Structure 1
Amino acid sequence: MLTKRANPGKRSALITGVLLLVGLLTGIFSVVPVIDGADYLVKSSLNENQVITGSFFQLLMIAAYVGIPILMYPILSTYNKGLALGSVAFGIIAGVFIIIGVIILLLLLTLSHEFAKVGTLNESYFQTLGGLLREGRDLVNHVATTLTFVLAMFLYNCIFYQTKLVPRWLSVSGLIGSTLSVLASLLFMIRFIGLDEAYMILNIPIAFQQLVLAIWLIIKGFNRPTQDSVSY
């Protein structure tokens, strides 16, 4: 049984909220439509700035994906050290996968430049290699990265639920949204769904919860935990 604790730092809550917004915005701006198009081998080199910009914003995502659980660790570990540490671990792993995804994206750009030099010579070779790189990028971005970061979110929302550091409705929506996002990644991994409407619908709840949580933390900060919160 814990005695009532002082309200966790407003500054930490504010920075966490900002990083949540950064994660959402960089996710939007990191999309590279030219890579997902049918003529990506031709158009990627012609739209190099789009690829470079997408890579830049993907790298910025690391600050959010890794920074959020690390920033909250000193607060959350007070109440459940195991879950807080797990959240940090998954956040760091997600950051590593983001770097891998950026490397693959830049390799696709290099492949496009090489294809432009040789024209249609050995086109099947370039198509095969490009297809493998795109497949790998999709699995890294939409399975590995998404799963690890969403699991990090699931763990810290578990602590939020236990302690009421944020309202229960907000932590519950995070747990539900995380579960749906995990389901989306697993269904995509086994090719039951693609990067289509079904995938987007399953990921909307966690994105909306992330937005609301960010606004809540920026404006309200963390609540005082309940007296019956348990530390581990």
Structure 2
Amino acid sequence: MNSNMSYRRTEILVASLWIITAIGAIGGAILINPIINAPDYLTTVFPKSAIITSGMLGWMINDIGIVFIGLLMFPILKKQSESMALGYLSMRIFESILMIVGVFFAMLLIPLSQEFIKSGAMNVASFQAIGSVLKQAENWFLNLLQLIFLGLGGVILTSLLYQTKLVPRFISVFGFIGYALLLPAAIIGLFGILDPTPGGPGSILAVPVAIWEIIIMPIWLFAKGFNTTVISTK
């Protein structure tokens, strides 16, 4: 009974974190991207630093929250396969580190904009070059490289869910396909073929994962939870 209650708490926490992290990531992008991607970002980033900082808080909630998803899932997944449980947790940690680095690069645009304004918009080319490097680094770490670890971690998770029937297999299959699509999305983004970042044409490849993480899995975990029969037999 106590273990079932413990699993139930974990299910509710994981479902809640999937929703909270998604809100943080999407909210951060809505607040930040229009400012740092604008043609005049060097003159607008610093005056709008409060908005950008609020967006970064949302990003950090996401970056930290995904690690807690991995930590909360670990005891349950470990009962099925310790190596796959460790693999999933590791991918979540690597993903979090990459995104935190990306947030750091985005944060550096604030003092850059401040110095640009102080200089009276002199040495425009130099400031633009630095800004371009920072934005490119932010995009690589926060979006493109992160997609690789999100995809790999998701493939590990959904494969284990499918093998063990912790959730119905149609849910696992949908999630597996969604996470697998993130890997080519990252590759085409890294090679500049198609932009998979939020709002870009390649972002359609991330739609299945968004549906799985924000709607399908949370609803199932809130309503039904994991198959405790599978857990208790291990």
TM-score by length of 1: 0.91
What residue number does 2:220 align with? Answer: 216
**Correspondent of 2:209 among 206, 209, 212:** 206
What residue number does 1:28 align with? Answer: 26
Moved more, 133-142 or 58-67: 58-67
CA distances 1:68-126 after superposition (whole Å, capped 9, x unpaired):
11111101011111111011111111111122112111101110111010122111000
Cα shift at 1:58: 1.0
Conserved 8 A contact 2:109-2:134: yes
Conserved 8 A contact 1:163-1:225: no
- Unmatched 5+ stretches in structure 1: 1-5
Point out which structure has higher relative CO (alpha carbons under 8 A, 6+ apart). 1
1:1-232 paired onto structure 2 within 5 Å: 9-31=7-29, 32=32, 33-194=34-195, 195=197, 197-211=200-214, 212-225=216-229
Quick check: which one's helix share is greater?
2
Cα shift at 1:225: 4.9
CA distances 1:100-158 after superposition (whole Å, capped 9, x unpaired):
11211110111011101012211100000000110110001111222212322221111
Letter in 2 for 1:69: G
| CA distance in structure 1 between the partners assigned to 2:229 and 2:44 by the alignment | 53
Q: Secondary structure at the match of 1:79?
A: coil
- Paired residues, number: 224
| CA distance in structure 2 between the partners assigned to 1:120 and 1:163 by the alignment | 61
Letter in 1 for 2:212: Q
TM-score by length of 2: 0.90
Letter in 1 for 2:18: L
| CA distance in structure 1 between the partners assigned to 2:21 and 2:156 by the alignment | 18
Conserved 8 A contact 1:164-1:225: no
Q: Secondary structure at the match of 1:192?
A: coil
Identical columns (%): 29
Q: Report the aligned-residue RMSD.
A: 1.8
Q: Secondary structure at the match of 2:79?
A: coil
Conserved 8 A contact 2:99-2:143: no
Letter in 1 for 2:52: V
Cα shift at 1:197: 4.2
Cα shift at 1:62: 2.2
- Unmatched 5+ stretches in structure 2: none
Conserved 8 A contact 1:83-1:159: yes
What residue number does 1:3 align with? Answer: none
Cα shift at 1:198: 2.9
Conserved 8 A contact 1:69-1:152: no
| CA distance in structure 2 between the partners assigned to 1:218 and 1:150 by the alignment | 24
